Amino acid sequence: MPLITFTDDDFRGIDHQQDDPIVITVELKNYAVKKALFDQGNSVDILYWMTYQKVQLPTTAMVPYDEPIYGFSREKVSTRGYIDLHTVFRDGTQTKTIPIRFLVVDAPTSYNVLLSRPSFNTLGIIVSTTYLAMKFPSPSGEILTIHSDQRLVRECYMGSLRL
């Protein structure tokens, strides 16, 4: 694994003491899907039902799965199924595409996608919440850097849902 480090040049936030989440845009099925939240505490990658519909994925592409999951406060969340999708992460012209198994969840949210430990491990990602950035090796061995989009973070706080 190549050496991955963060320097002051990687910092693009307003304040080193901030507590904002890392929110980016990913590509699914040739759609740029904004408001993908990186959640290091979650053990499943989630695609929200509203996003599934907006990306125009056929219902037949999803494998049925109707076991509920339970959230942070033990609230029961309905699931519809799961789907395997190639997901593109972009740093300028450089990309890395990985397969992700998304659990499709029918729940209200400010985000479109929730990415978690399974996709982190597949990417080989190192996340810095201090720098609001993540780094991972490209297929060619270069280190790609993706910064959180603070505009998307503000949209999530305001509760708007757009692709």
Dihedral pair phi/psi, residue 45, rounded to 5°: -85, 130
The alpha carbon of 144 is separated from its chain's Cα centroid by a whole number of angstroms, namely: 16
Give the C-alpha separation, 106 to 154, whole Å: 23
Predicted pLDDT of residue 158? 60
Nearest to 79 by CA among 52, 96, 55, 103: 103
Structural domains in the chain, CATH included, are: 8-157 (2.40.70.10)
Residue 37 clears pLDDT 80, i.e. is over it: yes
Q: Of 50-59, 73-82, 149-158, where does the model show the most confidence?
A: 50-59
Q: Which of 8-22, 81-95, 121-135 has the lowest mean pLDDT?
A: 8-22
Dihedral pair phi/psi, residue 86, rounded to 5°: -75, 125
Q: How confident is the model at residue 98 (pLDDT cuts 50, 70, 90)?
A: very high
Question: Is 111 within 8 Å of 45 (Cβ atoms)?
Answer: no
Residue 16 clears pLDDT 80, i.e. is over it: no
